[in-house]
């Protein structure tokens, strides 16, 4: 018998989007240009190879996020200790919203995400590189 899901992904996304500020690609690019923000790309490495990268973005696979943020983790990445805003991005805006909400729960702030993700970033004509 299949297990009943109490809170599905739609509920989790709605909760995340209610708590996390969503930026347009233009707003995110503007924030990155001032040097006070870090763009955290949570896409899978295969997505980066297939679709391209964003110059200057910090790549953190979604599966490692909690471990890379926590200073007590053996996998901690110092970028998450910087006094900067963190802007999360994925392919379409779902994983980035969930990632940003998780980062907030872990104490990271300020935290935002790019609505529409990498797809919207490319469509807006923002810079894209190759891995």
What CATH number is attached to the domain comprising 110? Answer: 3.40.250.10
pLDDT value at residue 30: 95
Report yes or no on 1 lying in a domain: no
Domains held by the chain: number: 1
Prediction pTM value: 0.94
Which residue carries 């007590």 as its tokens? 72
Burial of 90 (0-12, 13-18, 19+ CB in 10 A): buried
SS3 content of the chain, % helix, strand, coil (to 5): 45, 15, 40
Mean pLDDT (10-residue bins), the chain, 131 residues: 83 96 97 95 96 96 98 98 97 98 97 98 92 64
pLDDT value at residue 3: 80
């Amino acid at each position: 018998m299949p297990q009943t899901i109490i809170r599905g992904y739609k509920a989790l996304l709605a909760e995340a989007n209610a708590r996390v500020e969503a930026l347009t690609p233009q707003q995110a690019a503007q924030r990155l240009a001032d040097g006070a923000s870090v763009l955290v790309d949570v896409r899978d490495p295969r997505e980066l190879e297939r679709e391209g990268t964003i110059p200057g973005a910090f790549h953190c696979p979604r599966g490692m996020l909690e471990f890379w943020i926590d200073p007590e983790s053996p996998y901690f990445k110092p970028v998450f200790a910087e006094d900067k805003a963190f802007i999360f991005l994925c392919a379409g805006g779902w994983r980035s919203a969930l990632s940003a909400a998780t980062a907030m729960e872990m104490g990271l702030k300020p935290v935002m995400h790019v609505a529409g993700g990498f797809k919207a970033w490319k469509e807006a004509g923002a810079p894209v590189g190759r891995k």
